[in-house]
């Protein structure tokens, strides 16, 4: 993954091997299903999703795993049992490519982080309600 300054999530995913691209597309789909009104952006050169004017969740592909960010203490506590099979360290959840992509868990994590972001945003969040 030598290229940087990605313009889109598609461009980011395309820099990975074919097998990893399939996995990253599943991760992306799980987040988009969970947060249909979120804006998809590139931030810190990885995919991110914004709601209420703030970045809610990020994902990234690496050599042996993909990661979700941020893994705050509240999220780790709320999902302690679900996260047991995965490495959680320094604000990151690492999912090895050797295991199936836990799309339902990723969706639940995305919704949890979105709820926290909404609570932090307070009244500002009305402009970002889900479109009908």
What is the model's pLDDT at position 1? 46
With a cut of 80, say whether residue 132 has pLDDT above it.
no
Of residues 119, 33, 112, 107, the one with CA closest to residue 78: 112
- Residue 83 domain boundaries: 9-122
For residue 99, being part of any structural domain is answered with yes
Taking the complete model, does pTM exceed 0.85, yes or no? Answer: yes
What is the model's pLDDT at position 121? 73
Q: Which residues of 107-131 are buried (b: 16+ CB within 10 A; e: fewer)?
A: bbbbebbbebbbeebeeebeebeee
The count of structural domains within the chain is: 1
For residue 63, being part of any structural domain is answered with yes
For residue 29, being part of any structural domain is answered with yes
For residue 1, being part of any structural domain is answered with no
For residue 3, being part of any structural domain is answered with no
With a cut of 70, say whether residue 67 has pLDDT above it.
yes
pLDDT band at 123 (very low <50, low <70, confident <90, very high): low
For residue 71, being part of any structural domain is answered with yes
What is the model's pLDDT at position 52? 82
Q: Which residues of 15-27 are buried (b: 16+ CB within 10 A; e: fewer)?
A: ebeeebeebbebb
Token representation of residue 88: 């959680």
């Amino acid at each position: 993954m030598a290229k940087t300054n990605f313009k889109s999530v598609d461009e980011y995913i395309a820099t990975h091997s074919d097998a990893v691209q399939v996995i990253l597309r599943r991760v992306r789909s799980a987040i988009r299903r969970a947060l249909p009104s979120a804006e998809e952006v590139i931030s810190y050169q990885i995919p991110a999703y914004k709601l209420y004017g703030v970045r809610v969740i990020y994902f990234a592909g690496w050599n042996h795993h993909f990661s979700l960010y941020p893994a705050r203490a509240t999220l780790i506590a709320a999902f302690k049992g679900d996260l047991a099979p995965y490495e959680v360290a320094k604000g990151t959840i690492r999912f090895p490519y050797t295991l199936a992509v836990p799309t339902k868990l990723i969706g639940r994590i995305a919704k949890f982080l979105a709820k926290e972001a909404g609570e932090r945003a307070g009244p500002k969040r009305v402009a970002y309600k889900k479109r009908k």
